[in-house]
Protein backbone atom coordinates (compact mmCIF):
# COMPACT_ATOMS: atom_id res chain seq x y z
CA UNK A 1 0.00 0.00 0.00
CA UNK A 2 1.31 3.45 -0.95
CA UNK A 3 2.59 5.44 2.01
CA UNK A 4 0.87 8.69 2.92
CA UNK A 5 2.00 11.68 4.96
CA UNK A 6 -1.15 12.38 6.88
CA UNK A 7 -4.19 10.71 8.37
CA UNK A 8 -7.00 11.76 10.66
CA UNK A 9 -6.21 8.95 13.12
CA UNK A 10 -3.03 6.86 13.26
CA UNK A 11 -3.20 3.60 15.17
CA UNK A 12 0.10 2.11 16.32
CA UNK A 13 -0.20 -1.70 16.34
CA UNK A 14 -2.04 -3.81 13.79
CA UNK A 15 -3.22 -6.67 16.00
CA UNK A 16 -6.84 -7.32 16.84
CA UNK A 17 -7.10 -4.28 19.16
CA UNK A 18 -5.80 -1.86 16.53
CA UNK A 19 -7.72 -3.43 13.66
CA UNK A 20 -11.06 -3.52 15.53
CA UNK A 21 -10.57 0.08 16.72
CA UNK A 22 -9.86 1.18 13.13
CA UNK A 23 -12.99 -0.61 11.91
CA UNK A 24 -15.33 1.01 14.47
CA UNK A 25 -13.75 4.46 14.10
CA UNK A 26 -14.39 4.38 10.37
CA UNK A 27 -17.85 2.89 10.69
CA UNK A 28 -18.76 5.63 13.16
CA UNK A 29 -17.54 8.40 10.87
CA UNK A 30 -13.79 9.12 11.17
CA UNK A 31 -12.78 9.37 7.54
CA UNK A 32 -9.10 8.72 7.29
CA UNK A 33 -7.73 6.05 9.63
CA UNK A 34 -4.29 4.48 9.17
CA UNK A 35 -2.93 1.46 11.05
CA UNK A 36 0.81 0.86 11.26
CA UNK A 37 2.11 -2.59 12.10
CA UNK A 38 5.76 -3.52 12.52
CA UNK A 39 5.23 -7.11 11.34
CA UNK A 40 2.47 -8.71 9.30
CA UNK A 41 -1.25 -9.22 10.00
CA UNK A 42 -1.68 -11.30 13.18
CA UNK A 43 2.08 -11.64 13.61
CA UNK A 44 2.11 -10.60 17.26
CA UNK A 45 0.06 -11.63 20.25
CA UNK A 46 -3.25 -11.86 18.34
CA UNK A 47 -1.99 -14.74 16.26
CA UNK A 48 -0.53 -16.46 19.31
CA UNK A 49 -3.44 -16.21 21.72
CA UNK A 50 -5.82 -18.80 23.13
CA UNK A 51 -8.75 -16.70 21.86
CA UNK A 52 -11.13 -17.48 24.71
CA UNK A 53 -14.13 -15.23 25.29
CA UNK A 54 -15.83 -15.21 28.69
CA UNK A 55 -18.08 -13.24 30.98
CA UNK A 56 -16.96 -15.13 34.12
CA UNK A 57 -14.87 -12.36 35.65
CA UNK A 58 -14.16 -11.18 39.14
CA UNK A 59 -14.50 -7.40 38.70
CA UNK A 60 -17.62 -5.56 37.62
CA UNK A 61 -15.77 -3.75 34.83
CA UNK A 62 -14.42 -6.96 33.30
CA UNK A 63 -17.85 -8.65 33.63
CA UNK A 64 -19.48 -5.74 31.78
CA UNK A 65 -16.79 -5.79 29.10
CA UNK A 66 -16.92 -9.60 28.80
CA UNK A 67 -20.67 -9.87 28.33
CA UNK A 68 -20.68 -6.91 25.91
CA UNK A 69 -17.89 -8.62 23.96
CA UNK A 70 -19.97 -11.81 23.77
CA UNK A 71 -22.92 -9.80 22.45
CA UNK A 72 -20.70 -8.41 19.68
CA UNK A 73 -19.08 -11.77 18.84
CA UNK A 74 -22.49 -13.42 18.48
CA UNK A 75 -23.40 -11.11 15.59
CA UNK A 76 -19.91 -10.46 14.23
CA UNK A 77 -20.09 -12.81 11.25
CA UNK A 78 -23.24 -11.02 9.99
CA UNK A 79 -21.71 -7.63 10.59
CA UNK A 80 -18.34 -8.28 8.94
CA UNK A 81 -19.50 -10.68 6.23
CA UNK A 82 -16.91 -13.32 7.06
CA UNK A 83 -16.75 -16.20 9.53
CA UNK A 84 -14.91 -15.53 12.80
CA UNK A 85 -14.99 -19.18 13.92
CA UNK A 86 -17.09 -18.55 17.02
CA UNK A 87 -17.68 -21.66 19.12
CA UNK A 88 -19.71 -21.27 22.31
CA UNK A 89 -19.03 -24.40 24.33
CA UNK A 90 -19.00 -22.45 27.59
CA UNK A 91 -16.19 -22.00 30.10
CA UNK A 92 -15.96 -24.62 32.82
CA UNK A 93 -13.88 -23.13 35.64
CA UNK A 94 -12.25 -25.64 37.98
CA UNK A 95 -11.45 -24.88 41.65
CA UNK A 96 -9.06 -27.10 43.62
CA UNK A 97 -9.61 -25.80 47.15
CA UNK A 98 -12.50 -24.64 49.28
CA UNK A 99 -11.06 -21.14 49.23
CA UNK A 100 -10.74 -21.07 45.46
CA UNK A 101 -14.28 -22.37 45.01
CA UNK A 102 -15.59 -19.66 47.37
CA UNK A 103 -13.83 -17.06 45.23
CA UNK A 104 -15.38 -18.48 42.05
CA UNK A 105 -18.79 -18.36 43.71
CA UNK A 106 -18.19 -14.76 44.80
CA UNK A 107 -17.47 -13.93 41.16
CA UNK A 108 -20.59 -15.83 40.13
CA UNK A 109 -22.77 -13.74 42.48
CA UNK A 110 -21.32 -10.58 40.91
CA UNK A 111 -21.90 -11.99 37.42
CA UNK A 112 -25.48 -13.05 38.18
CA UNK A 113 -26.22 -9.55 39.48
CA UNK A 114 -25.14 -8.19 36.07
CA UNK A 115 -27.36 -10.60 34.15
CA UNK A 116 -24.63 -13.15 33.36
CA UNK A 117 -26.12 -16.62 33.75
CA UNK A 118 -23.13 -18.43 35.23
CA UNK A 119 -23.81 -21.22 37.73
CA UNK A 120 -21.97 -23.67 39.90
CA UNK A 121 -22.05 -27.29 38.77
CA UNK A 122 -21.33 -30.63 40.42
CA UNK A 123 -18.72 -33.11 39.22
CA UNK A 124 -21.39 -35.24 37.54
CA UNK A 125 -22.80 -32.19 35.72
CA UNK A 126 -19.27 -31.17 34.79
CA UNK A 127 -18.86 -34.62 33.20
CA UNK A 128 -21.99 -34.08 31.13
CA UNK A 129 -20.54 -30.81 29.85
CA UNK A 130 -17.12 -32.37 29.31
CA UNK A 131 -17.53 -36.17 29.01
CA UNK A 132 -13.83 -37.08 28.98
CA UNK A 133 -13.14 -35.11 32.17
CA UNK A 134 -11.45 -36.79 35.12
CA UNK A 135 -11.35 -34.14 37.84
CA UNK A 136 -12.07 -36.13 40.96
CA UNK A 137 -9.56 -33.95 42.87
CA UNK A 138 -11.54 -30.77 42.08
CA UNK A 139 -13.42 -28.95 44.82
CA UNK A 140 -16.04 -27.42 42.53
CA UNK A 141 -16.88 -25.88 39.18
CA UNK A 142 -18.65 -22.88 37.71
CA UNK A 143 -20.00 -22.73 34.17
CA UNK A 144 -21.36 -20.14 31.75
CA UNK A 145 -22.78 -21.59 28.55
CA UNK A 146 -22.38 -18.48 26.38
CA UNK A 147 -18.62 -18.26 26.97
CA UNK A 148 -16.42 -19.78 24.30
CA UNK A 149 -13.74 -19.28 21.77
CA UNK A 150 -13.32 -17.73 18.32
CA UNK A 151 -10.64 -17.98 15.66
CA UNK A 152 -8.22 -15.10 16.29
CA UNK A 153 -6.89 -15.15 12.73
CA UNK A 154 -10.30 -15.14 11.07
CA UNK A 155 -11.58 -12.47 13.46
CA UNK A 156 -8.63 -10.18 12.72
CA UNK A 157 -8.82 -10.72 8.98
CA UNK A 158 -12.62 -10.26 9.02
CA UNK A 159 -12.28 -6.91 10.81
CA UNK A 160 -9.42 -5.91 8.52
CA UNK A 161 -11.23 -6.77 5.28
CA UNK A 162 -14.31 -4.86 6.47
CA UNK A 163 -12.15 -1.93 7.61
CA UNK A 164 -10.33 -1.79 4.26
CA UNK A 165 -13.67 -1.64 2.44
CA UNK A 166 -14.53 1.39 4.60
CA UNK A 167 -11.27 3.05 3.59
CA UNK A 168 -8.85 2.15 6.40
CA UNK A 169 -5.18 2.04 5.32
CA UNK A 170 -3.10 -0.78 6.81
CA UNK A 171 0.67 -0.44 6.58
CA UNK A 172 2.48 -3.62 7.51
CA UNK A 173 6.27 -3.87 8.05
CA UNK A 174 6.05 -0.29 9.33
CA UNK A 175 7.48 0.23 12.79
CA UNK A 176 6.69 3.19 15.03
CA UNK A 177 9.96 4.93 15.96
CA UNK A 178 8.62 8.11 17.56
CA UNK A 179 5.57 10.19 18.43
CA UNK A 180 5.64 13.89 17.67
CA UNK A 181 4.25 16.05 20.46
CA UNK A 182 3.73 19.81 20.01
CA UNK A 183 2.32 22.06 22.69
CA UNK A 184 1.24 19.06 24.75
CA UNK A 185 -0.59 17.45 21.81
CA UNK A 186 0.25 14.40 19.73
CA UNK A 187 0.47 15.58 16.12
CA UNK A 188 2.17 12.77 14.27
CA UNK A 189 4.06 9.49 14.25
CA UNK A 190 7.56 8.68 13.02
CA UNK A 191 7.87 5.31 11.40
CA UNK A 192 10.42 3.16 9.62
CA UNK A 193 8.75 4.35 6.36
CA UNK A 194 8.69 8.04 7.21
CA UNK A 195 6.63 10.54 9.14
CA UNK A 196 2.85 10.70 9.18
CA UNK A 197 0.86 13.65 10.56
CA UNK A 198 -2.21 12.81 12.60
CA UNK A 199 -4.93 14.57 14.60
CA UNK A 200 -5.24 11.58 16.91
CA UNK A 201 -2.73 8.83 17.78
CA UNK A 202 -3.85 5.59 19.46
CA UNK A 203 -1.38 3.21 21.05
CA UNK A 204 -2.58 -0.37 20.47
CA UNK A 205 0.83 -1.99 20.55
CA UNK A 206 0.14 -4.62 23.19
CA UNK A 207 3.20 -5.83 25.08
CA UNK A 208 5.25 -3.07 23.45
CA UNK A 209 2.89 -0.27 24.49
CA UNK A 210 5.07 1.11 27.27
CA UNK A 211 7.85 1.61 24.70
CA UNK A 212 5.52 3.43 22.30
CA UNK A 213 4.01 5.50 25.15
CA UNK A 214 7.51 6.58 26.19
CA UNK A 215 8.04 8.10 22.70
CA UNK A 216 5.45 10.70 23.77
CA UNK A 217 6.88 11.01 27.28
CA UNK A 218 4.06 8.98 28.85
CA UNK A 219 5.00 6.37 31.44
CA UNK A 220 2.91 3.20 31.46
CA UNK A 221 3.46 0.51 34.08
CA UNK A 222 2.90 -2.31 31.52
CA UNK A 223 5.23 -5.21 30.84
CA UNK A 224 5.37 -8.15 28.45
CA UNK A 225 4.96 -11.59 29.97
CA UNK A 226 5.67 -14.81 28.11
CA UNK A 227 3.03 -17.56 28.01
CA UNK A 228 3.12 -20.84 26.13
CA UNK A 229 0.53 -22.78 24.19
CA UNK A 230 0.22 -25.92 22.07
CA UNK A 231 -2.19 -27.59 19.66
CA UNK A 232 -2.84 -31.21 18.78
CA UNK A 233 -3.78 -32.96 15.57
CA UNK A 234 -7.54 -32.85 14.87
CA UNK A 235 -9.49 -35.67 16.54
CA UNK A 236 -13.18 -36.59 16.87
CA UNK A 237 -15.36 -33.98 18.58
CA UNK A 238 -16.33 -34.35 22.24
CA UNK A 239 -12.91 -34.55 23.92
CA UNK A 240 -13.20 -31.09 25.48
CA UNK A 241 -16.24 -29.12 24.27
CA UNK A 242 -16.02 -26.31 26.87
CA UNK A 243 -13.00 -24.18 27.67
CA UNK A 244 -11.69 -26.01 30.70
CA UNK A 245 -9.82 -23.56 32.86
CA UNK A 246 -8.30 -23.29 36.32
CA UNK A 247 -6.55 -20.31 37.86
CA UNK A 248 -4.74 -22.30 40.56
CA UNK A 249 -4.24 -25.26 38.18
CA UNK A 250 -2.67 -22.83 35.70
CA UNK A 251 -4.25 -24.23 32.51
CA UNK A 252 -6.85 -23.69 29.83
CA UNK A 253 -7.88 -26.38 27.37
CA UNK A 254 -10.42 -26.42 24.56
CA UNK A 255 -11.21 -28.38 21.44
CA UNK A 256 -11.79 -26.35 18.31
CA UNK A 257 -14.79 -27.22 16.08
CA UNK A 258 -12.14 -28.29 13.59
CA UNK A 259 -11.03 -31.06 16.03
CA UNK A 260 -7.68 -29.85 17.33
CA UNK A 261 -7.23 -29.41 21.06
CA UNK A 262 -5.57 -26.15 22.05
CA UNK A 263 -4.15 -25.69 25.52
CA UNK A 264 -1.87 -23.37 27.40
CA UNK A 265 -0.26 -22.59 30.71
CA UNK A 266 2.13 -20.00 32.06
CA UNK A 267 5.76 -20.92 32.44
CA UNK A 268 7.10 -20.95 36.00
CA UNK A 269 8.08 -17.47 37.11
CA UNK A 270 6.08 -15.78 34.31
CA UNK A 271 9.17 -14.58 32.40
CA UNK A 272 9.03 -10.85 31.81
CA UNK A 273 10.65 -10.45 28.41
CA UNK A 274 9.88 -10.02 24.74
CA UNK A 275 10.98 -13.52 23.77
CA UNK A 276 8.37 -15.55 21.94
CA UNK A 277 10.27 -18.71 22.78
CA UNK A 278 8.59 -22.04 23.37
CA UNK A 279 10.21 -24.65 25.56
CA UNK A 280 10.42 -28.41 25.84
CA UNK A 281 9.58 -28.05 29.55
CA UNK A 282 6.24 -26.57 28.56
CA UNK A 283 5.03 -29.38 26.28
CA UNK A 284 6.01 -32.03 28.80
CA UNK A 285 4.35 -30.21 31.73
CA UNK A 286 1.29 -29.34 29.64
CA UNK A 287 0.97 -32.93 28.42
CA UNK A 288 0.96 -34.17 32.03
CA UNK A 289 -1.84 -31.75 32.95
CA UNK A 290 -3.77 -32.69 29.82
CA UNK A 291 -3.44 -36.45 30.40
CA UNK A 292 -4.50 -36.15 34.03
CA UNK A 293 -7.62 -34.09 33.27
CA UNK A 294 -8.56 -35.81 30.02
CA UNK A 295 -6.99 -39.30 30.02
CA UNK A 296 -8.18 -39.98 26.44
CA UNK A 297 -5.65 -37.42 25.21
CA UNK A 298 -2.69 -39.76 25.86
CA UNK A 299 -2.91 -41.12 22.32
CA UNK A 300 -3.36 -37.69 20.70
CA UNK A 301 -0.34 -36.01 19.10
CA UNK A 302 0.95 -32.47 19.57
CA UNK A 303 1.62 -30.88 16.18
CA UNK A 304 2.82 -27.44 17.19
CA UNK A 305 3.72 -25.29 20.16
CA UNK A 306 4.65 -21.63 20.50
CA UNK A 307 4.70 -18.67 22.86
CA UNK A 308 3.17 -15.23 22.97
CA UNK A 309 3.21 -12.14 25.13
CA UNK A 310 0.59 -11.01 27.61
CA UNK A 311 0.45 -7.22 27.85
CA UNK A 312 0.34 -7.01 31.64
CA UNK A 313 -0.65 -4.18 33.98
CA UNK A 314 -0.16 -4.14 37.76
CA UNK A 315 -3.87 -4.90 38.39
CA UNK A 316 -4.55 -7.17 35.39
CA UNK A 317 -7.10 -4.67 34.02
CA UNK A 318 -6.75 -2.75 30.74
CA UNK A 319 -5.68 0.84 30.17
CA UNK A 320 -8.09 2.69 27.90
CA UNK A 321 -8.41 6.41 27.23
CA UNK A 322 -6.56 9.67 26.66
CA UNK A 323 -3.26 10.49 28.36
CA UNK A 324 -1.67 13.67 29.73
CA UNK A 325 -0.60 14.25 26.12
CA UNK A 326 -3.74 15.48 24.35
CA UNK A 327 -5.02 13.41 21.42
CA UNK A 328 -2.77 10.51 22.45
CA UNK A 329 -4.93 7.57 23.46
CA UNK A 330 -4.28 4.10 24.76
CA UNK A 331 -6.02 0.80 24.32
CA UNK A 332 -3.57 -1.59 25.96
CA UNK A 333 -2.77 -3.62 29.05
CA UNK A 334 -5.33 -6.35 28.37
CA UNK A 335 -3.25 -8.76 30.47
CA UNK A 336 -3.93 -11.76 28.26
CA UNK A 337 -7.49 -10.87 27.25
CA UNK A 338 -7.00 -8.44 24.39
CA UNK A 339 -8.60 -10.74 21.87
CA UNK A 340 -11.89 -11.13 23.74
CA UNK A 341 -12.11 -7.47 24.74
CA UNK A 342 -10.94 -5.93 21.44
CA UNK A 343 -14.41 -5.70 19.86
CA UNK A 344 -16.06 -3.90 22.77
CA UNK A 345 -13.01 -1.78 23.66
CA UNK A 346 -12.58 -0.77 20.01
CA UNK A 347 -16.24 0.11 19.73
CA UNK A 348 -16.35 2.20 22.92
CA UNK A 349 -13.12 4.06 22.15
CA UNK A 350 -14.47 4.79 18.67
CA UNK A 351 -17.71 6.07 20.20
CA UNK A 352 -15.71 8.44 22.40
CA UNK A 353 -13.67 9.68 19.44
CA UNK A 354 -16.71 10.33 17.28
CA UNK A 355 -18.82 12.15 19.84
CA UNK A 356 -21.19 9.24 20.41
CA UNK A 357 -22.40 8.09 23.81
CA UNK A 358 -20.26 5.13 24.90
CA UNK A 359 -21.95 1.73 25.50
CA UNK A 360 -19.92 1.43 28.73
CA UNK A 361 -18.24 4.16 30.80
CA UNK A 362 -14.54 3.23 30.70
CA UNK A 363 -13.23 6.28 32.58
CA UNK A 364 -12.05 4.14 35.52
CA UNK A 365 -9.62 2.39 33.12
CA UNK A 366 -7.66 5.63 32.81
CA UNK A 367 -3.92 4.98 33.32
CA UNK A 368 -3.68 7.61 36.06
CA UNK A 369 -5.39 5.12 38.39
CA UNK A 370 -1.99 3.59 39.14
CA UNK A 371 -0.60 6.93 40.37
CA UNK A 372 -3.75 7.45 42.44
CA UNK A 373 -3.50 3.93 43.86
CA UNK A 374 -7.00 3.05 42.56
CA UNK A 375 -6.18 -0.39 41.26
CA UNK A 376 -8.94 -2.63 39.84
CA UNK A 377 -7.55 -6.00 40.94
CA UNK A 378 -8.85 -8.81 38.75
CA UNK A 379 -8.76 -12.13 40.64
CA UNK A 380 -9.91 -14.33 37.73
CA UNK A 381 -6.70 -14.54 35.75
CA UNK A 382 -3.98 -17.15 35.40
CA UNK B 1 -16.72 -20.60 -15.39
CA UNK B 2 -13.64 -21.13 -17.57
CA UNK B 3 -11.76 -24.41 -17.48
CA UNK B 4 -8.72 -22.82 -15.82
CA UNK B 5 -10.82 -21.21 -13.06
CA UNK B 6 -12.66 -24.48 -12.53
CA UNK B 7 -9.35 -26.33 -12.26
CA UNK B 8 -8.11 -23.85 -9.62
CA UNK B 9 -11.12 -24.66 -7.51
CA UNK B 10 -10.38 -28.37 -7.80
CA UNK B 11 -6.65 -28.30 -7.13
CA UNK B 12 -6.00 -28.97 -3.46
CA UNK B 13 -2.67 -27.47 -2.40
CA UNK B 14 -2.79 -28.09 1.36
CA UNK B 15 -4.01 -31.63 1.80
CA UNK B 16 -4.19 -31.57 5.60
CA UNK B 17 -6.63 -28.66 5.61
CA UNK B 18 -8.04 -29.13 2.09
CA UNK B 19 -7.20 -25.65 0.85
CA UNK B 20 -7.45 -25.04 -2.90
CA UNK B 21 -5.26 -23.08 -5.30
CA UNK B 22 -8.20 -20.77 -5.91
CA UNK B 23 -8.42 -19.80 -2.20
CA UNK B 24 -4.66 -19.21 -2.02
CA UNK B 25 -4.73 -16.96 -5.08
CA UNK B 26 -7.71 -15.03 -3.71
CA UNK B 27 -5.88 -14.19 -0.45
CA UNK B 28 -2.62 -13.32 -2.21
CA UNK B 29 -4.65 -10.82 -4.23
CA UNK B 30 -6.15 -9.45 -1.01
CA UNK B 31 -2.68 -8.55 0.24
CA UNK B 32 -1.17 -11.64 1.87
CA UNK B 33 2.43 -11.67 0.66
CA UNK B 34 3.97 -14.18 3.07
CA UNK B 35 3.44 -17.85 3.81
CA UNK B 36 2.68 -17.02 7.45
CA UNK B 37 -0.23 -14.72 6.56
CA UNK B 38 -1.76 -17.34 4.26
CA UNK B 39 -1.28 -19.87 7.05
CA UNK B 40 -3.13 -17.65 9.51
CA UNK B 41 -6.10 -16.93 7.30
CA UNK B 42 -6.43 -20.27 5.49
CA UNK B 43 -4.76 -22.75 7.90
CA UNK B 44 -2.33 -23.94 5.20
CA UNK B 45 0.56 -25.68 6.93
CA UNK B 46 -1.27 -26.02 10.24
CA UNK B 47 -2.19 -29.68 9.88
CA UNK B 48 -0.24 -32.79 10.87
CA UNK B 49 2.35 -32.30 8.09
CA UNK B 50 3.10 -28.71 9.23
CA UNK B 51 3.57 -27.46 5.69
CA UNK B 52 5.87 -30.17 4.40
CA UNK B 53 3.43 -30.92 1.60
CA UNK B 54 2.28 -27.44 0.65
CA UNK B 55 4.84 -24.82 1.59
CA UNK B 56 7.04 -25.13 -1.51
CA UNK B 57 4.02 -24.97 -3.81
CA UNK B 58 2.66 -21.92 -1.98
CA UNK B 59 5.98 -20.09 -1.97
CA UNK B 60 6.22 -20.68 -5.72
CA UNK B 61 2.69 -19.35 -6.16
CA UNK B 62 3.53 -16.26 -4.07
CA UNK B 63 6.67 -15.69 -6.14
CA UNK B 64 4.79 -15.97 -9.42
CA UNK B 65 1.83 -13.85 -8.43
CA UNK B 66 3.85 -11.10 -6.74
CA UNK B 67 6.51 -11.11 -9.46
CA UNK B 68 9.42 -11.49 -7.04
CA UNK B 69 12.14 -14.16 -6.99
CA UNK B 70 11.28 -17.08 -4.73
CA UNK B 71 14.26 -16.42 -2.46
CA UNK B 72 12.70 -13.07 -1.58
CA UNK B 73 9.38 -14.54 -0.50
CA UNK B 74 9.17 -14.82 3.30
CA UNK B 75 8.97 -18.51 4.21
CA UNK B 76 6.85 -19.82 7.08
CA UNK B 77 7.96 -20.19 10.69
CA UNK B 78 9.01 -23.73 11.59
CA UNK B 79 7.64 -24.60 15.01
CA UNK B 80 8.48 -27.47 17.32
CA UNK B 81 8.01 -30.35 17.84
CA UNK B 82 8.53 -30.68 14.02
CA UNK B 83 7.04 -34.17 14.01
CA UNK B 84 3.73 -34.92 15.79
CA UNK B 85 4.33 -36.57 19.19
CA UNK B 86 1.77 -38.31 21.41
CA UNK B 87 1.07 -36.34 24.59
CA UNK B 88 1.29 -39.61 26.56
CA UNK B 89 4.90 -39.98 25.45
CA UNK B 90 5.71 -36.36 26.33
CA UNK B 91 4.04 -36.72 29.72
CA UNK B 92 6.24 -39.71 30.56
CA UNK B 93 9.43 -37.66 29.94
pLDDT tier, A57 (very low <50, low <70, confident <90, very high otherwise): very high
**Statement to judge: residues A198 and A289 lie in one domain:** no
pLDDT tier, B75 (very low <50, low <70, confident <90, very high otherwise): very high
What pLDDT does residue A276 have?
83
What pLDDT does residue B1 have?
60
CB contact, 8 Å: A114 with chain B? no
Residue A78 within any structural domain of the chain: no
Which 8-state DSSP code applies to residue A304? E
**Statement to judge: residues A368 and A322 lie in one domain:** yes
DSSP chain B: --HHHHHHHH-EEETTTTEEHHHHHHHHHTT--SHHHHHHHH-TT-STTTTTTTHHHHHHHHHHHHTS-GGGSPPPPP-TTSS-EEHHHHHT-
Q: What is the mean pLDDT of residues A127-131?
A: 96
Q: What is the ipTM of this complex?
A: 0.92
**Is residue A310 within 8 Å of residue A224, measured between CB atoms?**
yes
CATH code: domain of residue B49: 1.10.10.1100
* Domain enclosing residue A281, as ranges: 91-145+224-312
**pLDDT, mean over chain A:** 96
End-to-end CA distance of chain B: 55
Percent with pLDDT over 90 in chain A:
95
**Statement to judge: residues A141 and A184 lie in one domain:** no
A242-290 pLDDT, tens digit per residue, is 999 999 999 999 999 999 999 999 877 778 888 888 899 999 999 999 9
Residue A161 within any structural domain of the chain: yes
**Statement to judge: residues A119 and A13 lie in one domain:** no
pLDDT tier, B85 (very low <50, low <70, confident <90, very high otherwise): very high
Residue A381 within any structural domain of the chain: no
* Alpha-carbon distance A36 to nearest alpha carbon in chain B (angstroms): 15
**Statement to judge: residues A296 and A339 lie in one domain:** no
Residue A59 within any structural domain of the chain: no
**Statement to judge: residues A133 and A249 lie in one domain:** yes
Give the total number of structural domains in chain B: 1
CB contact, 8 Å: A235 with chain B? no
* Alpha-carbon distance B3 to nearest alpha carbon in chain A (angstroms): 27
Q: What is the mean pLDDT of residues A355-359?
A: 97
Is B9's pLDDT higher than 90? Answer: no
CATH code: domain of residue A303: 3.30.9.10
**Statement to judge: residues A332 and A274 lie in one domain:** no
* Domain enclosing residue B49, as ranges: 3-91
Q: What is the mean pLDDT of residues A172-196?
A: 98
Is A299's pLDDT higher than 70? Answer: yes
Give the total number of structural domains in chain A: 2
Residue A263 within any structural domain of the chain: yes
Percent with pLDDT over 70 in chain A:
100
* Alpha-carbon distance B87 to nearest alpha carbon in chain A (angstroms): 5
pLDDT tier, A223 (very low <50, low <70, confident <90, very high otherwise): very high
Is A53's pLDDT higher than 90? Answer: yes
Residue A270 within any structural domain of the chain: yes
CB contact, 8 Å: A291 with chain B? yes
Residue A175 within any structural domain of the chain: yes
**Statement to judge: residues A134 and A168 lie in one domain:** no
What pLDDT does residue A266 have?
82
Torsional class of A264: left (φ above 0), alpha (ψ -120 to 50), beta (otherwise)? beta
**Statement to judge: residues A198 and A261 lie in one domain:** no
**Statement to judge: residues A138 and A171 lie in one domain:** no
Residue A141 within any structural domain of the chain: yes
What pLDDT does residue A277 have?
85
Amino acid sequence: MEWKNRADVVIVGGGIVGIATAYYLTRLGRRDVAVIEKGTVCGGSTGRCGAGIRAQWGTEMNCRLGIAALDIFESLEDELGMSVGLNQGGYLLVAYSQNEFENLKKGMALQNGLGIKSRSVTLSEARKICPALDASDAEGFTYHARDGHADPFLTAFAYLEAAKKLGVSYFKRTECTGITVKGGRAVGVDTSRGHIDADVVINCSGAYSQIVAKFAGVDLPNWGERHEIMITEPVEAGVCPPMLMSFSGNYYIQQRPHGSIICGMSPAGHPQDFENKSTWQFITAMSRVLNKLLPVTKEIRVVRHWAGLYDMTPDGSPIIGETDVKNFYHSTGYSGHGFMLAPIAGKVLAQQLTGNAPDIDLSMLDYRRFARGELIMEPNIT
Amino acid sequence: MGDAKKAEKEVIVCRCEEITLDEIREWIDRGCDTFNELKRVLRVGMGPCQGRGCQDIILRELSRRLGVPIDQVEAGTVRPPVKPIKTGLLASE
